[in-house]
Amino acid sequence: MEPHQRSDMHSVQLWSDPKYLQGTAAHMARYRPIILEGLLIREGRQLVPRTADGGQWRLLALGKQDHLLGRHVRGEGAREGHDIVAADRTIAK
């Protein structure tokens, strides 16, 4: 086996080892439920609920949410990354 093939195989093993994944973005991919409440605004093409503590999240939601812009909303879903929430449900408060 060539040395470069061995290193490729080693990197695949590392990425599949749960001990190696702890603390990485790949480890964050687990389903983590989250509920957000805040004022829903649009920044560019992104939906952004601004929370009372000043936090900002990017909201991924299916369908049109234009009727909720400028209103206080409650979004329930899963955290998808550092500041991204995949919303299962978004309702006006």
pLDDT per residue as tens digits for the range 4-39: 444 444 333 334 445 544 554 544 456 789 999 999
pLDDT per residue as tens digits for the range 54-85: 888 999 988 888 999 999 999 999 988 788 99
Q: Are strands 33-43 and 46-51 parallel, antiparallel or unpaired?
A: antiparallel
Predicted TM-score of the model (pTM)? 0.64
What DSSP letter does each residue of 42-87 carry, written as one string? EETTEEEEEETTS-B-EEE-SS--GGGTTSEEEEEEEE-SSSEEEE
